[in-house]
Structure 1
Amino acid sequence: MVEHDPHAPGQFFSVGTVHAPRVRLALEHNLRHTLQGHQARQGVNPLLTSLNVVIGGQATVEAAMQAIGDELARVGMTGFPARANGAAMTEVLVSAPPGLADADDYLRESLRVVCMVLDAPLIQATIHHDQGRPHFHALLLPIKAGRWVGSRLHDLAAVKRLRVRMAETVGVRFGVKSETRYSGERLRLAIEMLDRWFEQHSPGFECPTYPATRAAYCKDPRPFLKLARLEVPERSFTAIMTSAGAATAEDRRQGRSSGAGKVLKQKVLHRKALCPPDKPLKQFASPESAPSPAESTLTAAQLAWRAKLARREERRRIRVVGGAA
């Protein structure tokens, strides 16, 4: 299930998968059918549960399970697919921005956009006021045009369409900007960049409070990246190096593009991110590796580029000598 993040700034939504064994549990959590197992783990305040509002779908767990059975019967299915880890439902979580006066209107409009973009049967949606910021969980059955589509309902293209439509409609109407969240490989790269930045620039890198600071930017690196004036490349170095590369003659005949120019740009961005060009080199592995006085003012990127050119010239010289022999 998708968990609510009470600290997420700006316009925030998340899309995830509910597997078949957890469908009833997701419905019980959404409708607060039982607080055991939810209250301690997710910070539910039972004194505020009465403020929750059902804004779509069924109002009880049993009615929701009956609605699921009816929708499956319409497409000729007697139950969820046999795979235990297959997508049984799509869950969309939308949180209201902090300090928004008309949070319920914002969430209702967001649900309308979600249903319009995903175009799938809505089983249940409830606004929660008893858990951090107001937010809703919408549970949709992955059926489109009379066919079971599973996790394709919320693939990358669908999530991108949803993000764009949320920004164009709900964001514009309520004056809320979308926030970029880092996850996976991009989050790892952001943490690596901040580790290097603190090691090079922060005088308190070895102070006792640094572990707490690092824990904070490991959870959300955005404010620290803004402070350090760093930009995280769209793709990681691993993704860049494992890309298709330059287009072949067959690719050009078929009109296919390899995106080699974009790969080169991403390599440059990655090098600039990890080695800021305005940061001179101050430490060297050995006295022999130290640059001459004329080179001591060069930046790390400039020295790396000189070394690359020297290696390229050496390879060319070896080829010429080998051909002459």
Structure 2
Amino acid sequence: MSTTNKTSVHPTSFFLLGIPGLETAHIWISIPFCLVYMMAVLGNGALLFIIKSDHSLHEPMYLFLSMLSVADLILTTTTLPKILSLFWFNDGEINFEACLMQMYLIHSLSTMESGFILAMAFDRYVAICNPLRHPTVLTHTVIESLGLVILFRGVVLISPYPLLLRWLPYCKTTIISHTYCEFMALVELVCVPTRIQRVYGLIIAFLTGGMDFILIMCSYVLILRAVFNLPSNDARLKTLGTCGSHVWVILVFYPPAFFSFLTHRFGHHIAPHVHIFVANIYILIPPMVNPIIYGIKTKHIRKRFLKVFIVKNA
């Protein structure tokens, strides 16, 4: 009896349920998920190759984009193989330590992604509002330093997450109603007060994604003010066009991220399958869409892609 209680309170593994209410459709849902994963890997891999091989793309925006692509690749690889294993083979079991590691990587990499998007917004602000200072402000040393700061922030601020959950008693259930291990999904399984965990999660969410989004909006207010001071409509449209790809990346990343965050904490009336499905969109869609956005919207990347991958195969 004591062994059973100990196992239920301190489990050696959890069981991922998948998308609640849609278990019978998992095999069909896995098809677009698998295609999205393949497109994310191929797209980001191609983007990294193009940026690395073309020295004319070694500009701040594209260097930050390459950092974002690396984070996207690791994030999708952290989640998708296990999700597909769950959908295809009903293999929902995940070791407790592996679950904590997956949770840490998901939140840490998502924090880094937000930081890289903010850095790209800063690049656009300097390029448009202070174009003459752009080469001297965003030097390669500054870019490397910003990248390291964003990496350090993601590693350090999320490090307490596994520590806050490691020794808690999980006596409610070992079934996680999700497709991957997520901080609040694990907090919901704990049978002791979790105020510290919840408050820390809110603070980190505000200091990272929340503050990043506020700063991005502030940068675009200043950008728009500078654009509308330009003398002609053609100049305004051309300048705004340089921000188009970045704006699409913001729209793809932040709305599902905020929806997932707010639903976990305040949206208990929302159907579980809707919440989990959007949470998966937040993990899956940005890594797939980001290379497509920049491939379509950026003429230099598009031409380089056609030259490398189409002409060589002709």
Q: TM-score range by the shorter chain?
A: under 0.3
Q: Which is richer in strand?
A: 1
Q: Which is richer in helix?
A: 2
Q: Name which structure has the greater RCO, CA cutoff 8 Å, separation 6+.
A: 2
Larger Rg: 1
Q: TM-score, normalised by structure 1?
A: 0.21
